[in-house]
Amino acid sequence: MSTSSYHHKNLPHTIINAALDAIAESGPSALSLRDLARRAGVSHAAPAHHFGDKAGLLTAVAVQGFCLLADALVEAQRRTGDFLEVGVAYVGFAVEHPAHFAVMFRPELYRTNDPELVAAKARAGESLYRGVAPFTSSESGPVPQDAALAAWSLVHGFSALWLSGSLPPGLPADPRQAARGVASVLFPGTQ
């Protein structure tokens, strides 16, 4: 036991995964470093060694989240070339990574000035902007920025409402399909 617990090798990874489980279960507010340590089978102060403190851990979660989001968006853009599908991918990310999503847009939980974080956030922002850029350049449309923000707001709001269980019943069980139906109100003539 003593030889296995010392130099756990990838404790940060293990702890982040435990944190993701815990957050998905009961939200970031109920997160306990000591509980994570117990789940990982290490001492109560081990997590703090790697992440400094709770905010440090959540910063790492947010960084990972923005990276995964950026990946999901560029992947959707590459595969389909359709900005509606980029929006659907945004919702897909939120539903498949609820813990990441729950942290990413709650800046009071982590260090917003962490260099890794600002980089990841910028990358996600660019991916998102490129995904909806074609939509904003349609000549008949309104102000480009407003159109892009409308698209972002719609998929972000749908994600948040879905995750919080606020949406009425009767929607498609698959969140992507539900999102496709809702998003196509904004992106008419693309499906």
Partner DNA sequence: AGAGTAATCTAGTCAGTGTCAAGATAGATG
Partner DNA sequence: CATCTATCTTGACACTGACTAGATTACTCT
Residue 10 CB, nearest distance to DNA (Å)? 8
Distance CA 96, CA 137 (A): 30
Q: What residue 80 binds from a second copy, DNA, none (CB within 5 to 8 A, per partner kind)? A: none
Contact status: 45 vs a second copy (CB under 8 A): no
Candidates 49, 53, 141, 177; binder of a second copy (CB under 8 A) is: 141
List phi, psi (to 5°) of 101: -60, -35
Q: Count of residues binding a second copy (CB under 8 A)?
A: 42
Please work out, in degrees rounded to the nearest 5, the angle formed at the alpha carbon of residue 59 by the alpha carbons of 56 and 60: 95
The packing angle between helices 175-183 and 144-163, to 10°, is 150
Q: Return the structure tokens found at 83.
A: 């900005």
Residue 157 CB, nearest distance to a second copy (Å)? 3
Candidates 4, 6, 108, 139; binder of a second copy (CB under 8 A) is: 108
Q: What residue 122 binds from DNA, a second copy, none (CB within 5 to 8 A, per partner kind)? A: none
Residues 119/98/150/166 CA torsion (nearest 10 deg): -160
Q: Which residues bind DNA (CB under 7 A)?
A: 2-3, 5-9, 11, 31-35, 37, 42-46, 48-50, 52-55
